[in-house]
Structure 1
Amino acid sequence: MSVAWVRLVLDLDEFDEGPRLSRLDRCREAGTGFTTMAALGDTPEHRRALYELNRTCSADIPGRGAFYTYEEYLAQRIATPTYDPEGIVLALDRGDWIGMAATSIRPEGYAFSEMTGVLAAHRGRGVSLAMKLLAIRFARSRGARVLRTVHHPGNTVAIAMNRRLGFIDDVPADGA
């Protein structure tokens, strides 16, 4: 049985982050810090930590299946032309990595939200939304005019968060 993936798109030209900045401020006031892989250093040690965080956060995604091995992760997510350490937003709690939002710029000119996830113990505080705002800033800084993402239909929390930000259904030009 095939899955009808939920494909969403956000018009970055129309997106107004202003009404949502309070979420970012509240997270910071509560002690959550934000940085990027580039700012921390795109080192082998940080790549391993990113892999472990991504693997842990991905375990809750419906229909995810087995996660990559570390070698597969490096080959398919890091050693690609679209990987940019500036596009990896990390959420920190007392120095510990608690969340990540990975965004890439595709050769076709749009940005793609690869993964946004927060460790279970830190969910429900708006960290995902705050990281997504920073990911949107990254996409805009690279000249992207739209941000796309794809979700399993059972990932209702992620879909709802993206819709709150203004993502709409991404219908292919041919309507298929």
Structure 2
Amino acid sequence: MSDPWVKLELDIAQFDAPCFEKYVTRCGADGIRLTTLAELGDTPAHRRVLYELNKECSADIPERGEFYSFDEYVERRFAAAGYDPRGVVIALDGDTWIGMAATSRHGDFVFNEMTGVRAAYRGRGISIAMKAFGMAFARESGATKVRTFHHPANANAIAMNRRLGFVDAEG
């Protein structure tokens, strides 16, 4: 197999936002607040909390390997040209960070870097809510597409993205 990754793409104009608003509403009803790193404050302390959350959620990615050191994470996430704290959605239960959906800008598309929810909160539609909430950033940035890719064994992530309207990307 030359390229095992599942590459997916969503046409932002085709995204059915009203269909997924119920997930955002349900999070609110369950006491889960959705916000962005920009709204919380892109501070060193918040970057550290995001790192720890990302590290925890990434442990379930098939064949992920060892997670980056904090310094490597800062370089890859925050120093990257496409980084914008408005594109990092955070799900909060009170003051506890329970989920993240991080995207970066790349010209006419937004790349979904990572979406993850702590194990105790999974199965409640929080990932879908975060990604639907994050579509505002994608639109505001002038993107026409959202792209992502997954290890083929990451069936839950692939299914969640397909549910949102992502289709196989070419190339």
1:117-143 deviation per Cα after TM superposition (whole angstroms, max 9, x unaligned): 000000000000000001222101111
RMSD value, Cα: 1.1
Letter in 1 for 2:110: A
2:110 alignment partner in structure 1: 111
Match of 1:42 in 2: 42
Note the 1:20-169 alignment, pairs <5 A: 20-107=20-107, 109-169=108-168
Q: Are 1:3 and 1:152, in contact at CA under 8 Å, matched by a contact in 2? A: no
Letter in 2 for 1:112: F
Unaligned runs of 5+ in 1: none
CA distance in 1 between partners of 2:47 and 2:2 (Å): 33
Name the SS of the counterpart of 1:154 in structure 2.
Answer: coil
- In the superposition, the TM-score normalised over structure 2's length comes to 0.97
Q: Is there any run of 5+ residues in structure 2 with no aligned partner, and where?
A: none
Secondary structure at the aligned position of 2:13 is classed as: coil
Deviant stretches of 4+, over 4 Å? none
Number of residue-to-residue matches in the alignment: 171
Shift of 1:112: 0.5
Deviation at 1:77, TM superposition (A): 1.1
Deviates most, 133-142 or 50-59: 133-142
Partner SS for 1:144: coil
- Give the letter for the 1:100 counterpart: M
Per-residue deviation, 1:75? 0.7
1:9 aligns with 2:21: no
Give the whole-Å Cα distance in 1 for the aligned partners of 2:76 and 2:164: 28
Q: Which residue of 2 aligns with 1:170?
A: 169
- Give the aligned residue type for 1:170: A
Query: How many percent identity over aligned positions?
Result: 56
| CA displacement 1:95-131 (0-9 Å, x = unmatched) | 1000000011113x21100000000000000000000
